[in-house]
Structure formats: structure tokens, C-alpha cells
Homo-oligomer: A and B are copies of this chain.
């Protein structure tokens, strides 16, 4: 998606540790007009897949998942990172290692919200090591639902998460795929 690449080149900042900061439009401040363009692209990619539900993970995946849910007219579910008193009863859960924060956490979704007959599209802002997506895929497997595919705003191709998931037969679509990045240059695949 050319507009996504332009936006990253214009507003993105590469921080130490291989972190791409896109807080100005994607994951702290959200450019809602551009968000809808991203959602339209996801609908173009997955709109014919019979998606019944979108699953994401709090917090930074939520805006894009909600926008795509609005366009695709399906509900959105977000997995929570900690068990809270608002999620009672039975849950699906899996463990995720965060690259950004260098820590493990548990992700949880109430069983009521993923059903066996659901066809799930996963959405997240970033795909790097693929840990968050793998955790979400585990939740889908626990529910015996069907995974249609994964849409991410930005894939860091220099980390192997995307390629490992594709090797397992998972359909992954990135709106922008970064081949390499340094302080001074971002190269797209």
C-alpha cells in the first residue's frame, strides 16, 4: 500500500533497538481518515473470505481492527493481556513474549466471544517476531474456529515472524513490509 509507505517515510522514526515509531498516525495518535484507508485495503484483501469476526490484542491493534470491523460489518474481539474482573467464567488463554517490552504476558479471551463456527481474521499493528499473532492463533485453535488470515499494518521482514507463519500455511498480508531500516533509511520489500 503505497500511501502507507509514504506515511512511514514522512512520519516514522527509527529508535534504538529496531523500533519503528509511528505514534503520530498509527498507535498513539490515530489519523482516522488514513485508518479508514487501511481498513478499506484490508477489506479488499480479505473481503471475500467469509470473515465472521476480527480478533486483535490490546491496545495498539484495536484501532485498525475496529476500523476494519466497521468496513467489513463484523464484530471485533480483543484479547486482554491480563485477567481482569470483567472477564469472568471460562476463557481461552496463551502466553506471549513481547519484543518491545522484553517480558512474557498472558493473553485471554472469554470463550463466549470465539465460537467454533467463527471464521477469524487477525489484525495487529506490527508483525516482527510473530509472537502476538502466534498467541492469537493458539486462542483460535483452542476454540476450534477457522483462521482466515492475518492483516498487519507494518511487517518488519528482517525479523522472521511473518516468514515462519507463512511456512506454516498462514496467509499474512502486510500493508507495508519493511525489508531493512536504519536511522537514515527505510527500505520496503
Q: Which residues of A contact B (CB under 8 A)?
A: 15, 17, 19, 21, 23-24, 27-33, 35-36, 58-59, 62-63, 66-67, 69-70, 73-78, 80, 84-88, 100-101, 109-110, 112-113
Those 6 A-B pairs whose CB atoms lie nearest each other, nearest first: A58-B59, A32-B69, A59-B59, A29-B113, A30-B76, A62-B62
Most central of A62, A67, A101, A109 by chain B CB within 10 Å: A62
Contacts of A29 in B (CB 8 A): 75-77, 112-113
The minimal Cβ–Cβ distance linking A44 to chain B, given in whole angstroms, is 18
Which residue of chain B has its CB nearest to the CB of A36?
B70
Is A28's CB under 8 angstroms from B100's CB? Answer: no
Known: A15-B86, A28-B113, A32-B75. 19 other contacts (CB 8 A): A15-B85, A19-B85, A21-B88, A23-B112, A23-B113, A27-B86, A28-B77, A28-B80, A29-B75, A29-B113, A30-B66, A30-B75, A31-B75, A32-B76, A58-B59, A59-B59, A62-B63, A63-B76, A66-B66
